[in-house]
Amino acid sequence: MRPYKQRNYVFVSAGSYPWIPVDHHSGEFNVGYACFHNGTGQVSANIDGTLDDVYTAASCKAFFLVTANASTGLVSDGNITQPVMAVRYRVAAVSGSANVSFRVQMGGA
């Protein structure tokens, strides 16, 4: 099992959040994610991926992986099987007051 990664975003606002590097060398690439929402309103968000090295690149080229809208009391979760170097949470819009916990877990041996 790969190391657990977690990011907590308090008072979420529109924009891109920091990259979370993942183990792209895994034989069977599998990243599970969950977006936990607290507060009122809704968060319209996506999860992006990049093939750039987030440790050395000044700016990484991002691409859409999956929609991850979170609403009060609900969790948006799933998995990503397309190999990437890193993932991030990107908020398009927020209605009301919200905070989100974005968690990532690598699967595999």
CA atoms of 109 and 102, how far apart (whole Å): 23
- Closest by CA to 55, choosing from 88, 80, 89, 19, is 19
Class of domain 4-106: mainly beta
Residue 22 has pLDDT above 90, yes or no: no
pLDDT for position 15: 87
CA 67 to chain CA centroid, nearest Å: 10
| β-sheet bridge partners, residue 48 | 64, 88
Q: What percent of the chain has pLDDT over 70?
A: 83
CA atoms of 64 and 55, how far apart (whole Å): 20
pLDDT tens column, 44-64? 889 999 999 998 878 899 999
Q: Which of 14-23, 54-63, 74-83, 98-107 has the lowest mean pLDDT?
A: 98-107
